[in-house]
Amino acid sequence: MIKIKEILFSLFLCILTVNSIQADTLFVNTGHIKSIKEAISRAKSYDVILVSKGIYKENNIVINKPIKLIGQDLPILDGEKKYEIITITSDSVEVNGFQIQHVGKSYTMDWAGIKVDEKDHVVISNNKLYDTFFGIYLKKTKHCKVWNNSLETTSVDEVNSGNGIHLWDCENISIVGNHIVGHRDGIYFEFVEESEVRDNISENNLRYGLHFMFSNNDIYDGNIFKNNGTGVAVMFSKNIIMTNNIFLENWGSASFGLLFKEIYDGILYRNVFQENTVGLYADGANRIEVKENEFIKNGWAINILGNSQDNTISRNNFLSNTFDVATNTKTNPNLFEGNYWDQYTGYDLDKNGIGDVPFRPIKVFSYVIGKIPESIILLRSLFIEMLNFAEKVAPVLTPETLFDESPNMTRIEYD
Amino acid sequence: MILLVVSVCTPKESPIMYGMEKCHYCQMAIVDQKFGSEMVTLKGKVYKFDATECLINYVRTNNIDWQDLSMILTNTLDKPGELITVEHCYFLQSENMPSPMGMFINPISKKHLALEYQSKQNGNIYSWDEVKDVVKEGY
């Protein structure tokens, strides 16, 4: 009898605990709960809050418990240009399916559409952010997902705009499938470790499409960076892996497809640089492997400054660039080998597919332009052609050791 | 005529065109009106930076003598967009307050404001002479 009582009691306990773990679903706007704030205050941990279509002007919504906040048919959260909209101050929160618009501007507070404040395991997905100062802002967080959001602002100058997805002091963050338009930096990383940026489109941003500062061991893969001030800037960082990205149409006097500044030990593999003023600009880039990339129709494919050492540039295709390589030194501390240069005029007598004479990708005229930018007007003139030819025959100004000893005769096909 | 020559050579500050000008040290566009800084040499040449960290590093890496500068100015948190002589500023270094170059140095123009920020965000307040030593070389 006592046994049965014990069993019954433990069963009762079980049911009790199961009940308390079980997530409830709260409905906003369809039932008697009228506001999201009210739903959050009523919710228990791990509840789901479903928000139906409508416009919600609830100034700053603080999510302070682990819940799922899900919008149905894209309900609108409006900050009326006065507030930050969602602030997450709990672990394990999910925000999915909202249109978040009109964040207030504050220069001291960095207000955002969605901010995660020192909490982990947050998922932000399928939201549409419009006219936010900062879009999604992660501060000191770990293990978060930012997936399939679209962020758009119409800011006109860099000063009065924030970054699209802004990460500061984070670890293990996954940023996948977002579309970011018109911010200061599309995606900004400062002190971010072990994180990935995949399959995003970042375009028409005023400064950089993607910006790394003091961030190590990160990867960006399969993104498109189009028509930004500069496509991607990797600065003061180590071990960044850059694969399968497209850098497109970053035009302007100080615009680059990809900018390296004080970085070490990276891999740049299978990317396409097309129609940029400068495809790749390397200022203090060291031990970077630049392999199997395509440089197509850029003003300069690569501009590599003298403070960049021990880089390997191999098996890339250089097609229809005005200048293939430029530099500002007379020595060459980098290795160029096995690339295809469409400006190569050498021959291949032994028919092994590799040119018999080395290719010197630096034209003397690119030096002249480096010193006197206005001289670009002389490009394609007979005088310049003669100058280039003379330098090719007897190098004086260009680095004697900068050449590709084994230039490919045909465009390299990547599988 | 002499007046003209003199006026050309007199070192004077020049406003920062935010978003248009690049930092002389780190190449980044100067965008944040709370952190920009500039120095003017005795000959009147102006160098602009996106943060005081960059200015200090530039001076150091190029072995410029601080005595050769006629003016050193910075933006501040409390008066964004205004350039103020660094000797009149307080520099709050707090891990809770990011700055453009990752060294958490926030210039503030008034001492009581600096103390107010410090009471909320912790950290240390430095004078200009002290902050020069706080900035580590080369990031």
pLDDT in tens, B30-85: 888 899 999 999 988 999 999 999 999 999 888 899 999 999 999 999 888 899 99
User: Does any domain span residue A330?
Assistant: yes
Distance CA A303, CA A391 (A): 19
User: Does any domain span residue A207?
Assistant: no
Quick one: pLDDT band at residue A21, thresholds 50, 70, 90? low
Mean pLDDT within A107-134: 91
Q: pLDDT > 70: what percent of chain A?
A: 93
Any B CB within 8 A of A106 CB: no
Complete DSSP assignment for A73-90: S--EEE-TTTS--EEE-S
Enumerate the residues of chain A whose CB falls inside 8 A of the CB of residue B19.
157-159, 206
Residue B102 to residue A213, Cβ atoms within 8 A: yes
- A190 with A218: CB under 8 angstroms? no
Count up the domains in chain A and report the number.
Answer: 1
User: Does any domain span residue A280?
Assistant: yes
Q: pLDDT > 90: what percent of chain A?
A: 67
User: Does any domain span residue B38?
Assistant: yes
Distance CA A202, CA A281 (A): 19
* CB atoms inside a 10 Å sphere around CB B101: 27
Q: Is 0.90 topped by the overall pTM?
A: no
User: Does any domain span residue A297?
Assistant: yes
**Closest Cα in chain B, distance from residue A159 (Å):** 5
User: Does any domain span residue B4?
Assistant: no
Residue A107 to residue B22, Cβ atoms within 8 A: no
User: Does any domain span residue B139?
Assistant: no
Residue B18 to residue A207, Cβ atoms within 8 A: no
**More confidently predicted of B5 and A127:** A127
Domain that holds residue A306: 249-362+399-415
Facing residue for B98 by CB, picked from A168, A233, A261: A168
Chain B CA closest to residue A158: B19
Chain B CA closest to residue A237: B139
Q: Is the predicted pLDDT of residue A86 greater than 90, yes or no?
A: yes
Helices (H), B40-110: 52-61
pLDDT in tens, A366-404: 777 777 878 778 877 888 888 878 877 777 777 878 899
Q: What are residue A70's DSSP bridge partners?
A: A50, A96
- What Å distances lie between residue A210 and A145, A155, A184, A213, B69, CA to CA? 17, 17, 10, 10, 36
Fill in the DSSP letter of residue A373: G
pLDDT of residue A275: 94
Q: What is the ipTM of this complex?
A: 0.72
pLDDT of residue A13: 53
Domain that holds residue B84: 11-133
pLDDT of residue B95: 85
User: Does any domain span residue A350?
Assistant: yes
Quick one: pLDDT band at residue B137, thresholds 50, 70, 90? low
User: Does any domain span residue B77?
Assistant: yes
Chain B residues interacting with chain A (CB cutoff of 8 angstroms):
18-19, 22, 26-29, 31-34, 77, 80, 98, 101-102, 138-139
Facing residue for A159 by CB, picked from B26, B33, B138: B33
Per DSSP, which regions of A207-342 are E strands? Answer: 208-213, 219-221, 224-226, 230-238, 241-243, 246-248, 256-264, 267-269, 272-274, 278-286, 289-291, 294-296, 300-304, 312-314, 317-319, 323-326, 335-337, 340-341
pLDDT of residue A9: 60
Q: Is the predicted pLDDT of residue B13 greater than 80, yes or no?
A: yes
Helix axes A382-393, A364-371, angle to 10 degrees: 120
Fill in the DSSP letter of residue B138: T
